[in-house]
Amino acid sequence: MQIVAKGLTYTYDAKSPFAAQALRGVDLTIDEGEFFGIIGHTGSGKSTFVQHLNALIRLTGGSLQVGEFDLADKKCDLRALRRRVGMVFQYPEYQLFAETVEKDVEFGLKNFQKELSDADRASAVAEALETVGLDYESVRGQSPFELSGGQKRRVAIAGVIVTKPEVLILDEPAAGLDPLGKKELMELLHAIHGGWCKTVVVVSHDMDEIAENCTRAAVFEKGKVAMCGAPADIFRRADELAEMGLDVPVTARCARILRERGIDVDTNFTCDDFARKVIALWEKGGEGRAQ
Amino acid sequence: MEAVRFDNVKYSYREDEDTFAVNGVTLSIEQGEFVAVLGRNGSGKSTLAKLINVLLEPTEGSVQVFGMDAADPDLTFEIRKNTGMVFQNPDNQTVASIVEDDVAFGPENIGVPREEIGRRIDFALDAVGMQAFRHATPNRLSGGQKQRIAIAGVLALLPKIMILDESTAMLDPRGRREVMEVVKKLNREQGMTVILITHFMDEALQADRAVVMHRGEVVMDGKPEEIFARSDELETYNLTLPRAAYICKKLRAAGMPVGEAFTAEELAEEICRSLQKA
């Protein structure tokens, strides 16, 4: 499903003294198959935007097409849309509620696919839990509240992917995890991506994460898309990002200093690629000297 | 003076089991130190923190805070007054609907006289740079601002130790910077002993000392730069290097003559030097 937003606007608490315009005309296209990143500091409108994608916030201005769903159409089948566009909120483990892991994960399924037999439902739950790296038999009967923080988050994600949404949106999915937990989570998303899950959209403050994982990214600033493109193209504009109060990856900061000193590192800003390119420069320099 | 002393401390969340969240920790933290505590989720960092201000009592061993024995129930109150704790979620630490009432909550509870409370609110809000928000509503502040208010609430009790348990984890980069600036300032200017539990390696680099926990034990203890120089060991505890240090390691592995670098600036410097030599 392709996502096309045109001139999207949204105001919180409209007609009240606290009215705050969160979106001021967002134009953005996310193609099917992308691993798309959304960057921007708090209050830039990124969360408001993603909540539009499965109609948690209803369209009030502009247009939004998600696959065949026209969100401006009052008769748009929201149930069908939400089944195909899954949303993982920030700190989704805070939304765990059921007595057992199994009951928590199957909740969405029971609501979206009432027709499923018990056996089919159990196997879907098992598959979702295995996908997030948990052993179905050993966790199914446990209370989700007795699990570790990282496991809780996995259960919460399983509860969203159990319906196999074609588009999966995650708001800061790795926030608060330790470095290895972050890495494992991104690997998990890559493993899902390309199968039944065609498109992944991640909101993140971690620029290195964006550089290392995304096909393209959009930078939100004051309710608009300020930049959109491959991470390499975005992070080359480090000065502009800094002006917006955003961080840039360590590699981009380093590349900028090197450029000022006349050394051009042509990198996509992932750590491995950056190291490779620097080593190549060094080896070339060495050869030059040898000749 | 010794601010915190752990002698072979063990703690188990389940009385009937032999699994220890903190497993034989001996540790001494001096007054005025800024110590970062690193380790995977579940390595015992938060348990360690809670043992310091007697939210938990050791199963074995002894904890002393400024010479006060944490096992003595008569001293619990005094220890807690001296060890302020800031948690992860800013929204869970707000008790009042106006910033100054929120900051006053702690001192009111320990019976500080009215005029003195006013002075403490001034001091605390100045220290975190939030004086302008004195009459604001906490739920309309940003995450970083809310955490600064939480820190102010702790400061109003005039503690000697401040423990931050992943207090920047839920903040955006700007909020994280704000909180780290406040913490560093308190440490430098007021000699506050700071214990910072974090997953962010760049925050650990700003501390005087880093302690790595693994399965309830302290496995590494030293200057952050020394700890990060021992990258292979760090890896066995499932911790990652700061990205600049990781790149540096790769360059060295390929034979490039680069020294240690922990920040983008240091890395650029090292690369420049070795390219010029080549």
Structural domains in chain A, CATH included, are 3-248 (3.40.50.300), 249-291 (no CATH)
Separation between Cα atoms, residue A234 and residue A94, nearest integer Å? 33
Confirm whether B17 is domain-assigned: yes
pLDDT for res B140: 82
CB-closest option in B201, B246, B278 to A285: B278
Q: Quick check: A180 and B175 CB within 8 A?
A: no
Under DSSP, is residue A233 helix (H, G, I), strand (E, B) or coil? helix
Residue B261 covered by a domain:
no
Q: At B197, which helix (H) or strand (E)? A: strand B193-197
- The answer to whether the CB of B1 falls within 8 A of the CB of B82 is no
Phi, psi (rounded to 5 degrees) for B164? -115, 110
- Strands B60-65, B2-11: pairing is antiparallel
Residue A249 three-state SS = coil
**Chain B positions with Cβ closer than 8 Å to A:** 39-42, 88, 142-143, 166, 169-170, 172-175, 199, 201, 238-240, 242-244, 246-247, 250-251, 254, 256, 263-265, 267-268, 271-272, 274-275, 278
**Start-end of H helices in chain B:** 45-52, 76-82, 99-109, 114-127, 143-155, 173-190, 201-204, 224-229, 231-236, 243-253, 264-277
What is A3-49 written as a DSSP string? EEEEEEEEEETTTSTT-EEEEEEEEEEE-TT-EEEEE--TTSSHHHH
Residue B265 within a domain: no
List the structure tokens of A250: 């360590």
pLDDT in tens, chain B (278 residues): 999 999 999 999 887 777 899 999 999 999 999 999 999 988 999 999 999 999 999 999 999 999 999 999 999 999 999 999 999 888 888 899 999 999 999 999 989 999 999 999 999 999 999 999 999 999 888 888 899 999 999 999 999 999 999 998 888 888 888 899 999 999 999 999 999 999 999 899 999 999 999 999 999 999 999 999 999 999 999 898 999 999 999 999 999 999 989 999 999 999 999 988 76
Q: Could you tell me if A274 lies within 8 Å of chain B, comparing CB atoms?
A: yes
The answer to whether A149 faces chain B, any CB pair under 8 Å, is yes
Q: What pLDDT does residue A291 have?
A: 37
Out of B169, B243, B272, closest to residue A175 by CB: B169
B260 lies in some domain: no
Contact of A277 with chain B, judged by CB distance below 8 Å, is answered with no
Q: Is residue B70 part of a domain?
A: yes
Q: Is A41 in Cβ contact with B174 (below 8 Å)? A: yes
- Nearest chain A residue to B166 by CA: give it: A176
The residue assigned the tokens 């923080």 is A149
Q: Has residue B186 been placed in a domain?
A: yes
Residue B208 belongs to domain with CATH number: 3.40.50.300
Q: What pLDDT digit, counting tens, does each position of A164-195 carry?
A: 999 999 999 998 888 888 999 999 999 999 89
Quick one: pLDDT at residue A287? 52
**Partner B contacted by A180 (CB < 8 A):** yes
Nearest-Cα distance to chain B for A171, in Å, is: 12
Angle at B79 between CA B113 and CA B98, to 5 degrees: 45
Closest CA to A207 of B267, B264, B228: B264
ipTM score = 0.81
In chain A, whose CA is at the least distance from the CA of B249? A275
Number of residues that this document lists for chain A: 291
Tokens of A246: 């955003």
Query: Inter-chain contact B169–A208, Cβ cutoff 8 Å?
Result: no
0.80 cut: is pTM over it?
yes
How many degrees, rounded to 5, is the angle at CA B226 between CA A179 and CA A178?
A: 10
> What pLDDT was estimated at residue B36?
97
Contact B173 A246 (CB under 8 A): yes
The dihedral through the CA atoms of B119, B125, B130, B134 has a sign that is: negative
Residue B195 belongs to some domain of the structure: yes
* Pairing outcome for strands A3-12 and A61-66: antiparallel
Residue A117 forms contact with B (CB below 8 Å): no
| Percentage of residues of chain B with pLDDT beyond 70 | 100
Determine the distance in angstroms separating the CA of B197 from the nearest CA of chain A, rounded to an integer.
11
Confidence category of residue A148, pLDDT binned at 50, 70, 90: confident
**Are the beta carbons of B272 and A261 separated by less than 8 Å?**
yes
Cβ pair A236, A194 in contact under 8 A: no
| Residue pair B27/B219 in contact by the 8 Å Cβ criterion | no
Q: Does residue A246 belong to the interface with chain B, where contact is any CB pair within 8 Å?
A: yes
> CB distance B170–A176 less than 8 Å?
yes
Q: How far apart are CA A64 and CA B127, in angstroms?
A: 46
C-alpha closest to that of B126 among B78, B174, B186: B186
How many structural domains does chain B have? Answer: 1
Cβ within 8 Å of residue A93, ≥6 positions away: A144, A149, A152, A153, A155, A156
pLDDT of residue A288 exceeding 70:
no
Contact of B230 with B250, CB cutoff 8 Å: no
Query: CB B170 to CB A175 under 8 A?
Result: yes
Domain-located, residue B268: no
Q: Print the domain residue range for B80.
A: 2-223
Nearest to B57 by CA among B67, B65, B3, B92: B65
**How far apart, in whole angstroms, are the C-alpha atoms of residue B254 and residue B261?**
16
